[in-house]
Amino acid sequence: MSFDRRFRVSTDASVRLENHDPNGTGGTDKKAARRELKRITRRLSELQYLLYAENTRALLIVLQGMDAAGKDGTIRRVMRGMNPQGTTVTSFKKPSAEELDHDFLWRIHRAMPRRGDVGIFNRSHYEDVLVVRVHDLVPKDVWSERYDQINAFEKVLADDGIVMLKFFLHISKDEQKRRFEDRVSDPSRHWKISPSDFSERPHWDAYTGAYEEVLTRCSTEWAPWYIIPANRKWFRNVAVAQIVAERLESLDMKFPAPTVDISKIRID
């Protein structure tokens, strides 16, 4: 079974994260996975070049997960073979005053990749049905309307040629604790520590419920969600890379025809 089929959330699913093992590897061997990741990243470089040459579509990769789920690590390990000239990473933090003066999707639309490019979102528009829900930042009658608004927004993007893949990096609460402890014990990683890492941890169950509703209501044919077991970083990386490669290969991209008659070119 392809990774795409194995980890894709069905459009008619009712997601319960307790039914998805964050330690899962599907029997994949660690050494073999690392060798496979090297092969896939080389292939991703080729596919990105083809995407750029064809210039009719863009690829958007959305990464979401609990704090310390590995969004930065996934970007670093999986996208390393991509040409930075055609790749943009956008991290969505707390909205600025300017962003708050617009609708919640305004800042997202501004960050969309151009045709031929790859865009990577470290967090995304889904924060507006996650953080705002958990912390009551807007009324329920506001955020509860946003699932349908997001689906409609993503359909517009898909119709305009944006290929969207959304990954939920699924870690356990114990694994999050271990990663936080690693940061505290390693001086070279102290800079990564923020008060919100720890203040958000007591809300684990509330975030779990919020993510379950996102995954249930917003996995569509045009913008699917994938639940990636992420306790083991090496498996997380190869799973995400393989799904991206599978999706790009399914597009059956072709190099465009030359704009000149190649047979008439003479180089003296």
pLDDT at 264: 86
How many other β-carbons are positioned within 10 Å of the β-carbon of residue 107?
Answer: 17
What tokens were used for 28? 């994949």
pLDDT digits (tens, 9 = 90+) for 95-118: 999 999 999 999 999 999 999 999
What is the band of 82 on the pLDDT scale with cuts at 50, 70, 90?
Answer: very high
pLDDT at 197: 77
pLDDT digits (tens, 9 = 90+) for 119-175: 999 999 999 999 999 999 999 999 999 999 999 999 999 999 999 999 999 999 999
DSSP states of 199-263: HSGGGHHHHHHHHHHHHHHS--SSS-EEEEE-SSHHHHHHHHHHHHHHHHHHT---PPPPSS-GG
pLDDT at 17: 98
pLDDT digits (tens, 9 = 90+) for 17-65: 999 999 999 888 999 999 999 999 999 999 999 999 999 999 999 999 9
Residue spans of the domains in the chain: they are: 3-252
Q: Does domain 3-252 have CATH number 3.40.640.10?
A: no
Which CA distances in Å does 33 have to 89, 128, 232?
Answer: 25, 35, 11
H-run or E-run covering 78: helix 71-78
- Helices 233-250 and 71-78 pack at an angle, to 10 degrees, of 60
pLDDT digits (tens, 9 = 90+) for 188-222: 988 888 887 789 999 999 999 999 999 999 999 99
Cβ–Cβ under 8 Å, residues 229 and 25: yes
